Chains A and B, each alone.
Chain A
Amino acid sequence: EDKVVQSPLSLVVHEGDTVTLNCSYEVTNFRSLLWYKQEKKAPTFLFMLTSSGIEKKSGRLSSILDKKELFSILNITATQTGDSAIYLCAVAGSNDYKLSFGAGTTVTVRA
């Protein structure tokens, strides 16, 4: 069965800090890894990664995948209170139709 582990489970930072979130996985026939941000309701898509070593960036957020060591990191620089959310990592593996989700990392940014 596919397995996705996120760490830390939660963290509290102050505005302006940099945050690094981790996602490790064990899947059969890896196809892609996705990051989502969830505030109060529906998760919203951030990145999809399929190739090792290629950084994806969107504003202050960036992510990279290491397919040899089976992990990904999500970085948030110059954090703002609006970055407070649950960040979910998901992996598409052996089953064509399913994503396996990690438990999420809850990030709280204090002013």
Chain B
Amino acid sequence: SQTIHQWPATLVQPVGSPLSLECTVEGTSNPNLYWYRQAAGRGLQLLFYSVGIGQISSEVPQNLSASRPQDRQFILSSKKLLLSDSGFYLCAWTGTSEWFSYNEQFFGPGTRLTVL
């Protein structure tokens, strides 16, 4: 079966510090991968998605970046965090084979980031 991991679960960082959040998927190959941010009590804002190794599409201009160094690994980074980067970060994947409805996204447990 497929599982998705995210770490860390919670993070408190000072303004101006760097950030690295990691997401890995097990049990599937060549997934589409996504990073979302959710502000308190709000919907999901798509930040980045990737359809393959090294392929990153950015949805919202900001001081965040994403990388996909391996097929099932997706990393969200920042060189200098801002207060406005606080939020709940979710990684998600969709399958790309005939076994999946490619619209259905499966979410990781999330990382709650507080920037002080």
Q: Fill in one digit per residue for B33-58: 1 if any A CB lies within 8 Å of its CB, else 0.
A: 00010000111111001010000010
* A88→B59 CA distance, assembly (Å): 20
A64 interface residue per 8 A CB criterion: no
CB distance from A28 to the nearest CB of B (A): 15
Which chain A residues numbered 84 to 105 have a C-beta less than 8 Å away from chain B?
A: 86, 88, 90, 92, 96-104
> With A97-B32, A101-B43, A104-B43 given, is the CB distance from A45 to B106 under 8 Å?
yes
The total of interchain contacts (Cβ-Cβ below 8 angstroms) comes to 55
Interface residue tally for chain B (C-beta within 8 Å): 24
A32 interface residue per 8 A CB criterion: yes
Hey, which bits of chain A sit against chain B, CB under 8 A?
Answer: 6, 31-32, 34, 41-45, 48, 86, 88, 90, 92, 96-104, 106
Hey, which bits of chain B sit against chain A, CB under 8 A?
Answer: 32, 36, 41-46, 49, 51, 57, 59, 90, 94, 101-110
Q: Which 3 A-B pairs have the closest CB atoms?
A: A42-B107, A103-B43, A92-B103
